[in-house]
Structure 1
Amino acid sequence: MNKLRTIGVASLMWIMVSAGAQSAADTATDKWDLNRCLEYALENNVQLNKSRLSYASAEASLMQAKGQRLPNLNASISENGSNNRMRDPMTDELGDWKFSVNGSASLNTGVTLYSGGAINNEIQRSTLAKEAALLSVDQTEMDISIAVVQAYVNVLYAYENLKYYKEVVDLSTKQVERSRRLLEAGSVSRRDIADMEAQLASDNYSVVTATNTLTQRITDLKTLLQIPVEQRYDVYIPEEEINVILDALPDIYDVYEATLRNVPDVKYSELQKQMAEIDLKSAKAGYLPTLSASASIGTSYMDPYSLSAGTQFSDNLNERIGLTLSIPIFNRFSTKANVARSKINIESASLTLDNTRNALLQEVERIYQETQAGQQRYLAAIAQKNASEESFSIAQEQYALGMLNSIELQQSRNMWLNANRELIQSRFNALLYRKILDYYLGIPLTM
């Protein structure tokens, strides 16, 4: 019986441990890392989905433009009734009221044979518009991806700050305890204890502030991802420190060329200029004649009539075919105005293209310089942190021996704290800008 009881207790404990492990695994799975944030944003972002709808609309417009080359086909059927009095041709007297029914049916088709190239121009423009809509989707994806990376790095930075301030509180707590022991030994004064306790209170306040900042950064990321308020959300924080890439940067001109290839903005502006040039061709087509062909077949019947409806349909069958040439002579300067506006739009699109290219290259140059400076700042921060840490360690030993007072110790401590804060900030700053620069170079965003 005791053996069975032991086995039962062990089994129950194993079940509880397994359930706890599974729960922990589920919790870890529920946390959002950078890849999951990017996937969710690219799938659910409202602005991005609107861009995709615009692309679908551009596809429909292209289909419509291509359809202009085809003939149309329309069918019509009518049925009419009338009540009237017929006049007798012999006596010229009106007869009785009679109700009569008549109907007709027809098929009509028409096709444009020549329109000065307007149809071809519209197809070319719709094709470019479709490509531009796809580039707009790509640009929106890129903007959202960069924004998500920035927000995610801000969360990691806030978490690292909170972690750092908690370590500072632990250090301050130990210093207070140590100072109290030194007070009992007569090595320090009560003023020193008061200074240490004030510093501990200040550090605890910093922890509260850092906690609120982390909460705000997580909320900012959730808002950016457009996650519903009621949905559970927690950010995954890597346990290992994220390494900063300190490799030499590529040549700035290579970065320019890669950016112009990979960033959709410039290609989009180029397509807008090409579309404006096609609009000019379409406007000039207004000066040219239009040739169209048409054909129809139809029949009719009337009741009451001496012949049956089927016989009437057969007897009244008619077929028509025709050509129409429309020559513009004067349209109140409408075509001339359209041509003038189209030329202005080409100049405007050209200026927009130049401005887009210059703005993009200026942004790339800024990011390149920030990345370069960030790497140097990070390396300098490492050296500063190591030096200040050594200095603070010596100051603590001197304070314990009574060679320094609390004010001097706090000065050395503050230098060490500032160096640590600078190291954290420079590390995430260098990390962020290098990720953005790599993304412009065509390297996928990962953490």
Structure 2
Amino acid sequence: MKTSQTTMIFMSLIFLLTTLGVQAQDEPWTLEACILYALQENIRVKQADLTGQRNELYSEQARAAKLPSLSGSVSQNFNWNKSLQTASGQYGSLEGANSTSYGLNSSMLLFNGMKLNNQEKQAELNLQSSYYYAETIKESIELSILQAFLQVLYAQENVTNAQKQIEATTEQLALAEERLNLGMISQSDYLQIKSQLAAEKLTLANAYSVQSIAKVSLMQLMELPVDNGFEIASPLLESLLEKQVQPNAFEIYQQALAIKPQIKMTELDQQSARLEERIAKASLLPSLSLNANLGTNYSSLQSGFDYSSQLKNQISPSVGLSLSIPIFQNKQAQTSIGLAKISITDAELEAINTRNELRKEIEQATVDALSAQSEYKASMEQFQAVRESNEVANEKYQIGLMNSVDYLFEKTNLITAESALLQSKYQLIFTAKILDFYKGIPLTL
């Protein structure tokens, strides 16, 4: 995972340099740049990274718990009392005294049922699991960015198609006006063409609106402030459209099991839960500790020895072993063991559920990809047939062999077929990229 972090930092540096160039040259955003920016700015990703940092501290603490502890102590005491005068049998005046003591205390746990070792292993597992959790969140964001990016491309192409339709209808309206002036067509035929142009202008306005909304959605997913100058790059998609695949859901699922972070995360969580049971059972076993102390003191009541002499001569080291045997713990240990067993079962069920969800997603993605290929092929055939029919109708209309009603019928069919082809095109691209995602192939266009 540290290698992954290093790679991410390296990519981030490249992105920052690239971003400066993009901002200076006003170049459009690529899918890769959008994803990288989103991963840097997304709050959920930052929170996941903080979870990793927190677990890293827990892991360091678990390793340090096996080391001896050392503490120092210093105390200064003052006291006053009246001494008994033996000659007179009376108490004398109040006299003061002071004492000073210094000490070093160290202890080290020698045995506690492997509790510390298991806690260290568990902390490391939790650390690795948090890295995979962060990767899972990042993959989710990447998919969202891909979908939003393709939605913008679809909206842009829809705008282009609407503009082309308006250009063609504008030419037909000019021709209709000439024919009206020559008395070759009726006012009704002319108004039908004019009405069609108005409807197409409304369609273009709606297409612009959808495009703006799609861009805003993408920028918001990226955590990028909305900018009217935001533009995305238009990649070449022909190779994706020409590529015919016959995906095998089982094979893709086997690939995904080996690489997907959510699968690895649940595997680590199961191991952590099993260690939790061992940690809980350790509470039933005796614990053995090694203790060492070193102390010295000074008292003003001792005569004949100065401060340094007393400290030197009264040094008292000690070493000992301490054995603690649990007898009755108010069912705390048994409760902890029972909860740990429940956690193991819960982790196993979560792992099964995660694998099942992944399998279902891949099965659905496979069906979607095959359906998208069929729909795109059918839409392409339909569009080509309708376009040929429209070309014939356009020629007939140009020479006056077709009235406006029949011509607009053919034109409407062309618009409908073109819209269906556009939708099937981007559905095919999206489903193909989803399959790549489950295979572990980076999301690029």
Counterparts of residues 100-115 of structure 1 (less than 5 Å): 100-115=97-112
CA change 1:187–1:233 in 2 (3 A) is closer
Amino acid at match of 1:244: L
The 3-state SS of whatever aligns with 1:287 is: coil
Alignment CA distance shift 1:298-1:156 (3 Å): same
- Aligned partner of 1:273 in structure 2 is 270
- Residue in structure 1 matched with residue 352 of structure 2 by the alignment: 354
Q: 2:224 aligns with which of 223, 227, 237?
A: 227
Query: RMSD in angstroms over aligned alpha carbons?
Result: 2.0
What is the DSSP-based 3-state SS (H/G/I as helix, E as strand, rest coil) of the residue aligned with 1:298?
strand
Partner of 2:335: 337
| Structure 1 gap segments, 5+ residues each | 1-23
- Rate the CA distance shift 1:355–1:312 in 2: closer, same or farther, 3 A: same
Shift of 1:239: 6.9
Question: CA 1:384–1:228 in structure 2 vs 1: closer, same or farther (change >3 Å)?
Answer: same
CA distance in 2, matches of 1:168, 1:95: 118
Structure 1 segments (4+ residues) deviating >6 Å: 24-27
Q: 1:325 aligned to 2:343?
A: no
**Rounded Cα–Cα distance in structure 1 between residues aligned with 2:89 and 2:179:** 139
Output aligned runs, 1:139-288, within 5 Å: 139-228=136-225, 234-238=230-234, 240=236, 243-245=239-241, 246-288=243-285
Report the residue type matching 1:198 in the other structure. S
Q: Report the CA distance between 1:394 and its aligned residue.
A: 1.5
Match of 2:39 in 1: 42
Check the 8 A contact 2:70/2:104 in 1, yes or no. yes
Task: Write the letter of the residue equivalent to 2:264.
Answer: K
CA separation of 1:412 and 1:238: change in aligned 2, threshold 3 A? same
CA contact under 8 A between 2:280 and 2:336: conserved in structure 1?
Answer: yes
What SS does the aligned partner of 2:184 have?
coil
Pairing 1:55–2:52 present: yes
The amino acid that maps onto 2:386 is: S
How has the CA–CA distance of structure 1 residues 26 and 268 changed in structure 2, closer, same or farther, with 3 Å as cutoff? closer
What is the aligned partner in structure 2 of residue 87 from structure 1?
83
The answer to whether the 8 A contact 1:277-1:346 is kept is yes
Change (3 A) 1:320 1:25: closer
Equivalent-residue separation in structure 2 for 1:174 and 1:240 (angstroms): 31
CA distance in 1, matches of 2:77, 2:178: 113
User: 2: CA distance between counterparts of 1:322 and 1:350?
Assistant: 44
- Residue 433 of structure 1 aligns with which residue? 431
Q: Is the Cα contact below 8 Å between 1:182 and 1:400 reproduced in 2?
A: no
Give the conservation status (yes or no) of the 8 Å contact 1:85–1:94.
no
Is the Cα–Cα contact under 8 Å of residues 33 and 235 in structure 1 kept in the other structure? no
How far apart are the structure 2 equivalents of 1:248 and 1:54? 40
For 2:408, the aligned partner's letter is Q
CA distance in 2, matches of 1:150, 1:63: 40
After superposition, the C-alpha distances for 1:370-397 in whole angstroms (9 at most, x for unaligned) are 1111112111111111110111111222
**Letter of the structure 2 residue corresponding to residue 109 of structure 1:** S
The answer to whether structure 1 residue 296 and structure 2 residue 293 are counterparts is yes
Deviations 1:189-245 (A, max 9, x none): 11111111111111111111111111111111111111245x786122327555424
1:37 maps to a residue whose letter is: C
| 2:30 counterpart of 1:33 | yes
- Tell me the percent identity: 28
Give, in angstroms, the shift of residue 410 of structure 1.
1.5
CA distance in 2 between partners of 1:305 and 1:120 (Å): 49
3-state secondary structure, aligned to 1:429? helix
Cα offsets for 1:43-75 (capped at 9, x unmatched): 222211221121122222111111222111111
Please say if residues 247 and 366 of structure 2, whose CA atoms lie closer than 8 Å, have aligned partners that are also in contact. no
Q: Which residue of 2 aligns with 1:311?
A: 309
SS at match of 2:326: coil
Q: 1:137 aligns with which of 134, 142, 154?
A: 134
Give CA deviations for 1:292-311 in whole Å, capped at 9, x if unaligned. 11011011112365331111
Gaps of 5+ in 2: 1-20
Distance 1:243 1:327 in 2: 72
Q: Deviations over 1:414-436 (max 9, x none)?
A: 11001111111111111111112
TM-score (norm 1): 0.89
Structure 1: distance between partners of 2:435 and 2:217: 23
Q: Which residue of 2 aligns with 1:397?
A: 395
Change in 2 beyond 3 A, CA 1:92/1:397? farther
SS at match of 1:88: strand
Q: CA deviation at 1:29?
A: 4.2
Q: What SS is found at the alignment partner of 1:444?
A: coil
TM score, norm. by length of structure 2: 0.90
For the Cα contact (< 8 Å) 2:59–2:123, is it kept in 1?
A: yes
